[in-house]
Structure 1
Amino acid sequence: MNGSSEQLPDEQPKDQLARPESQSSKSVIERLEYFRRKFKEEGLVNSSTEEIIKRGEEVSKEIRKLADTTDREVIFWLAEAGFDNYINFEKVIELDPEDRKEIILRLINKELICNVLKNLGKLGKLGEEVTSELIEVGYKWAVTRNPKIFRLDQDQKKQLTLLLIEGTDRAIELKIERDNSTYLENAGYESMEELMDKRFNNARASMLAGGIGNNAANIVMRGTDELESIFKDRFIGLGLILDKEIALKLIKHGFMRVLSQCSEKFEGLDKEVILAILDINATTKEDFGSIGGISNIVKNGKGLDREIAIRLIEYNSNGASAVIENIERFEGITKKEAKKLIKDRFREDRSRSKRLRREYWLIKVENIWEYAKFVIGRAFGRKRY
């Protein structure tokens, strides 16, 4: 105690506290350390007595004055010390982008997700700048296990959800890029284009290309599985209202399977959502129709009409099945009419299939003599004819 920083007085001149920027980072941090010990030693946290509450408020007021600064070292200390409630995010936006990122990452690592989300709006493009970093340093872990997300209101939960969808997509891309770069470097290729050019006449290149493709597919699958688990186990349990904006965000980033598996919990799965799925089909990470997922969304859809029914029938056989199975969801079209449209839609496919079969047998007939010679030769025990 003698001569140590423990002997810092409880009071300092008012003007000194009001202008913390005039003090050195070290002296401010020493003062903050002192107040942190006061909180711990005097039991100023989670206490119900009026005297302690009043003292806690006094200490908090002094900490807030010290924290009202653009000094990066002081802000870093606040983030690391768990004093995130005292950070003035209006001052944070005055820092350069790298310092802003560092502050947010430190808060994330300390599981202090609430104030990050609460203040993202004040930080301009900070959310976009750090999305991939947030995911890579454990943002999903913070989302799935941090009890503080229970305190978020609906807007904050929604902001968290949209950020996570975008961040998961970016994290998948980064993981694929890093893995691809490692594979190519180890195999001695400078680029993916070089590998693709050589894969047709080079067995090793062909195997490598196949391995890279399988790895990418597995990364996408794992990322989608994790996101689906978060939606089912956490977001729905948190009482998050899943609305059309979240649905469209999932579609945009190719996570239709998540939407399909959680579709009964979504509100506003209307015409716009179905059209978005159909329009983005060519750019998604998976063939959405192949898993029949669109049927779940149609089953929980509202305000669907004849136009949507026709688009679904034209989409593929899964879309057609979704219409027939949920015909009561569509206005302006009967089951009989839908069946006729489906029959007409797939008649061309059946005709094409028959034509291909005919062409195949014509080719066989043209080569019948060659085939006959082969059969005759085999009958006489000869390997060649």
Structure 2
Amino acid sequence: MLIDTTLREGAQLFGAYFNVETRMRIADGLMKMGVEEIEIGWVGQEGIIEFAQHLSAVNKNTRLSVWSPCREKDILAASRLPVDRISIGVPVSDLHIEKRLESDRQSMLRKLAAAIRTAKKAGFEYVSVGLEDISRADADFAMSMALHAEVCGASRVRLSDSLGQLTPLAMEKLVSRFRSRITIDIAVHCHDDFGMATANSVTALEAGADYADVSVLGIGERSGIAATEELVAHLALRGGHEGYSTDVLKDVCLLVSAAAKVPVSRTKAVVGTDIFACESGLHTHALSKSPDLFEPYNPESVGISRKLAVGGKSGRAAVRSALNECGVDSSATDLATLTEAVRQLSCRLSRPLTRSELLKLSNGELLS
């Protein structure tokens, strides 16, 4: 269901460089996570041979694929790698066909047939064809390329929204249209230029796509693609897919963050350190009664800890609850006065209060 391409698309992020050791650690995390397929890189990538050999020796259940341009020499080079699948990229928009490749539609159909034939003869039983820039392509021609790929022996077509142009509604229509015409597997590759990659990927899977490309922290060209941790969490915690392990998400994200020099926002979905932190009076009080009132899933399921604090947004109920957690008898405390003191100190410090600060206030100590 998920094709993680952190080591291919993610490695194309400006300024990101992963050595073989880092790639192995990322791949190990992805295998523990339970993704069905790892796109390990591209033909000719630095260290790809050593990495592929090492990975194939330790891999047990995860499919391994490599990306290749639509060229015979690159496909033959890919066939010498110990991988299960090859992903051949081919543009389908006239903009790319004419301006980048200086070619035409009929030539692309012939080139695609030759590429699939070469891959099959070279020993690839599973050939994936990436239809690049499909959101700006003529719909009928894109479909003819997909049908041609199926007839020629491809096992999968990958619909690539290369510039993140689609909305979830448009993605649903796109996938439904292809699902009604072809019988081979369908994958999607959703870029995040307008912040809709994860939503588009989830929609595609719900509309009948078999696979969605993802990358840890969503890293990739420009603003990247759908985020692995978001899709894994959604599928496991909301969709009931038991094959994914969400408890390793945070560690893998921190590893990629350090290697790619991409900081993880404290409010980053699924893995941000403060996504289960709360100081709002209404919410804090509700969480003390029943966490599921304001939490979409158990924090521990993704390796995050719940943090409740009092501060400038807190009310008396939240302060009472905080005192009780500290072992202080709140019934002997003037909650109205203490709550006002909490708010004033928090506003002066521009942050929630620590446990120690709350206790000092409750004891009548003045904090400078």
Rg (Cα) greater in structure = 1
Specify the TM-score bucket, using the shorter chain as the normaliser. Answer: 0.3 to 0.5
TM-score, normalising length: structure 1? 0.35
Q: Which has the higher strand share?
A: 2
TM-score normalised to structure 2 length: 0.36
Structure number having the greater helix percentage: 1
Q: Which has the higher contact order (CA 8 A, sep 6+)?
A: 2
